[in-house]
Homo-oligomer: A and B are copies of this chain.
Amino acid sequence: MQRETRRSNKERTEATRAALIEAARRLFVERGYAETATPDIVAAAGVTRGALYHHFADKQALFRAVVEQEAATIAVEIERRAPATLSAAEALLAGGDAYLDAMREPGRTRLLLLDGPAVLGREEMDAIDERHGNRTLREGLVAAMRRRDISNVPVDALTVLVGAAFDRAALAIDRGGDRDAFRLAMRALIEGLLDGGTRAHDGDG
């Protein structure tokens, strides 16, 4: 039969890739990466496995595209709720809440926090995070710690650790944990950083 509209190659590619990514996202979220078979993905997307392997090197590359898109979406939501008009400390807390809210969208914790690191490796997940969200977090943390003597605290490392705590909070909340409890715990962590740490342990064994 005849196609309704004659589409350019670029349009065809775009539509096929989008259909594959959307179908893959749904199934990866429902069943996890390993338990999702490519025949199911292409069936859901309405194409064949030939199309999949034409556009993506392998199943992992398709997964990477899904993860990248998801991370980009979340970054946009966070920047919307933590605009530059806020003070540093305010932006940090607002951004944190926005992150926890964004991660409540079903499947995101699985994609970004469980399967992502296992399938793509920490290396690559860090690169994705750095491209999208983590830079904002580090800048917010540094700015918010302005009043404190920072000279002995490695801020890059600290950023990573605070980010990990946020991730874990999102995971716990998604699993049914008390959202407010984890928000309070995150605040305790962050506020301890902002005005705490007056003791300077510089040298020890």
Contacts and interface: CB of A to CB of B under 8 A. Distances in A.
A161 B182 contact: yes
Nearest to A157: B185
B184 A193 contact: no
A192 interface: yes
B122 A171 contact: yes
Nearest to A205: B97
- How big is the A interface, by class? 35 or more
Contacts of A191: 192, 196-197, 199, 201
A153 B185 CA distance: 6
Interface in A174-205: 175, 177-178, 181-182, 184-189, 191-199, 201
Contacts of A184: 152-154, 157
* Interface residues of A, dominant DSSP: helix
A177 B115 CA distance: 23
In the A-B complex, the 10 residue pairs with the closest CB atoms: A196-B196, A192-B192, A164-B168, A118-B118, A192-B196, A154-B181, A157-B185, A161-B165, A158-B185, A157-B181
Interface of A: 32-34, 114-115, 117-119, 121-123, 152-154, 156-158, 160-165, 167-169, 171-172, 175, 177-178, 181-182, 184-189, 191-199, 201
21 contacts: A32-B118, A114-B117, A117-B118, A118-B118, A122-B175, A153-B188, A154-B181, A154-B182, A154-B185, A157-B177, A157-B182, A158-B188, A161-B169, A161-B185, A161-B189, A164-B165, A164-B168, A192-B192, A192-B193, A192-B194, A196-B197
